[in-house]
Amino acid sequence: MSVNRLRIALQKSGKLSEGSIELLNKCSFKIKPAKNHYLIQSKEMNTDFLMIRDDDIPGFVDSNASDLGIVGENGYMEYALENPGNDLEIIARLQFAYCRLSLAAPEGSGIKQLADYNGKTIATSYPATLADYLNKNNINARIIQMHGSVELAPKIAVADAICDLVSTGATLKENGLLETHIILESEAVLIGRKSAGNELKAKAEELMFRINSVIDAKD
């Protein structure tokens, strides 16, 4: 077999994709995304970029369908908690796509302190991360998983409160929700496998050398 190509999974389109592509293009990769292209090949470091949904990135890397991936720390954390014994590690924090995973409750609901969440129902797209936080803080609440529009859950009486990603806070405000507790601070991270062999580890280091030069130039 010829020398293995380096496989890097990126979000195809969404809040991580632009930042990921911009960062890598500053590292000379020349990625030009196109609508139906799920594979983008680059001569630079003989790389295959796999353009997929962000939710699929941790699983791709963990199961060796990709060598590296760029994902939100929140997505990595959810996967890691859902899959104990996984082989993933964070190789580097990439300083973009900053956000936080927070608990928020409707204005006037009376939910302010963490203890106020006892006995309540909380809607979230991050059930494992929320359950872990609630357990560690001895809070007993029911968790409802939603894959989108989490901020609408209290309005339609599906939940008393939510746990969702926040960036500017505008979405919470528009929906009459008050942020009460930050569960996780997140940014884009480069992930890989702990058990990766020496050849792959060396490639990841070379990539990090390039990425760090870009990040350092920005600071």
What does the binding site for ligand PRT look like in residue numbers (CB under 6 A)? 11, 14-16, 53-55, 72, 74-75, 97, 99, 164-171, 186
Q: Which residues of 13-25 are buried (b: 16+ CB within 10 A; e: fewer)?
A: eeebbebbbebbe
Pick 74 or 129: Cβ nearer ligand PRT: 74
Please give the structure tokens belonging to residue 176. 């009459």
**Position with the least CB separation from ligand PRT:** 72
Please give the structure tokens belonging to residue 202. 């060396």
Please give the structure tokens belonging to residue 153. 């859950």
Q: How far is the CB of 195 from ligand PRT (least distance, A)?
A: 25
Q: How far is the CB of 210 from Zn ion (least distance, A)?
A: 27
Nearest Cα neighbor of 122 from 154, 168, 84 is 154
* Region binding Zn ion by CB under 5 A among candidate stretches 23-31, 46-54, 99-107, 141-149: 46-54
Can you give the length of the chain in residues? 219
Contact 179, 104 (CB under 8 A): yes
Q: Is 15 in the site for Zn ion (CB under 5 A)?
A: no
Q: Is 146 in the site for Zn ion (CB under 5 A)?
A: no
Pick 49 or 196: Cβ nearer ligand PRT: 49
Give the one entry of Zn ion, ligand PRT, none that residue 75 binds, where binding means its C-beta sits below a cut-off of 5 to 8 angstroms depending on kind: ligand PRT
Nearest Cα neighbor of 27 from 154, 219, 160, 216 is 216
Pick 140 or 167: Cβ nearer ligand PRT: 167
Pick 152 or 214: Cβ nearer Zn ion: 152
Pick 33 or 176: Cβ nearer Zn ion: 33
Pick 16 or 80: Cβ nearer ligand PRT: 16
Per-residue DSSP letter, 25: H
Across the chain, which distance is largest between two alpha carbons, in Å? 65
Q: Is 55 in the site for Zn ion (CB under 5 A)?
A: yes
Rounded distance between C-alpha atoms, residue 166 and residue 102, angstroms? 7
Give the one entry of ligand PRT, Zn ion, none that residue 165 binds, where binding means its C-beta sits below a cut-off of 5 to 8 angstroms depending on kind: ligand PRT
Give the one entry of Zn ion, ligand PRT, none that residue 47 binds, where binding means its C-beta sits below a cut-off of 5 to 8 angstroms depending on kind: none
Nearest Cα neighbor of 64 from 206, 191, 158 is 191
Contact 178, 172 (CB under 8 A): yes
Q: Name the site residues for Zn ion (rule: CB under 5 A).
A: 54-55
